Structure 1
Amino acid sequence: MAENVVDNYNLEEDTQHGRFLTFSLEDEVFGIEIKYVTEIIGMQSITKVPEVPTYIKGIINLRGKIIPVLDVRLQFGKEPVDYNDRTCIVVIDIEAVSVGLIVDNVEEVLTIDDEEIAPPPSNKTGFENRFMKGIGKAGGKVQLLLDCERLLKNEEIEVIEELLEEK
């Protein structure tokens, strides 16, 4: 019986492999591995928290759970925009911490085969982006695939954990 549980777990992991939730910021499309996504919610009231980086917009209460929310647009150095009816929060789990990512628009869930994912540009080019896991090609489009585990630096995770302890 224990073997069946292990087989089912592996099967579940395999069904998520190569699947990415895509979202847009301005005219760029980004993807994050679906295995990190717990839910997508509409914008809601965000409680501001003092002394955090400007892209950490604050915290929300999601069914009794306090979740820090960050604006991906600001984190990536883009100009701020007013939120609209397409703006939403993608809730992900990183290192046992739930974080909400504010994005302009959720696009779709794509399956991108491993052979359709190119590595990010190497450091030899003088270009390095800690956020990128790779460049995916699907449906004639290019998606910048983000590394959820590197979206936040360790010290940023510590700031978020401190925020959660205070609440």
Structure 2
Amino acid sequence: MSDQHHEVKGNEFLVFRIGDEEYGIDILKVQEIRGYDGVTRIANAPEFIKGVTNLRGVIVPILDLRIKFSVGEVLYNQQTVVIVLNIADRVVGVVVDGVSDVLTLSPEQIRDAPDFGTALSSEYIMGLGSIEERMLILMDIEKMMSSSEMALMDEVAA
């Protein structure tokens, strides 16, 4: 078993939607997918932090990536789901517009991400996945969740 730096290789990605865009995150970071239900609001938290929920005795902060990425009007409906992630020994939930499938991408299907002006900082993009006509934005969800702007997760979960 090699100890090399973990870059994007032929990996499995959970594909989810935010607005009209499709994103992929490493399936190994996903603990479960659940429907969106009520959360307990936290006073003075940034708008993208919806609050916390009790998940089988664990208090889990819930972040709405749609608000974080400034994607149009945020509606909660039957398609809205929470992807529960296990990142750096912490459990966190992210709200997205829907989950479509799990895809395995070969290294040939993954391109370097161009530096483009999206709401998602390019430092959190591992690359672009291309499958037939589909284009996936592959996110480094661990890097994003442990970034300074998300560091307040520590305060919320404490």
TM-score, structure 2 as length reference:
0.85
The residue correspondences of 1:45-84 to structure 2 (distance < 5 A) are: 45-84=38-77
The residue correspondences of 1:1-167 to structure 2 (distance < 5 A) are: 18-122=11-115, 129-165=122-158
**Partner deviation per Cα, 1:103-161 (whole Å, 9 max, x = no partner):** 00100000111111001114xx7886222110001243111111112223543454222
Report % sequence identity: 35
- For structure 2, the 5+ residue unaligned runs are 2-8
**Structure with greater Cα Rg:** 1
Corresponding letter in the other structure for 1:62: L
Equivalent residues, number: 152
Corresponding letter in the other structure for 2:105: I
| Larger RCO, structures 1/2 (Cα 8 Å, 6+ apart) | 2
Q: 1:126 to 1:31 in 2, by over 3 A?
A: closer
Aligned counterparts of 2:70 and 2:85: Cα–Cα separation in 1 = 21
Q: Which is helix-richer, 1 or 2?
A: 1
Corresponding letter in the other structure for 1:33: D
Q: Which of structure 1's runs of 4+ aligned residues deviate more than 3 A?
A: 125-128, 153-158
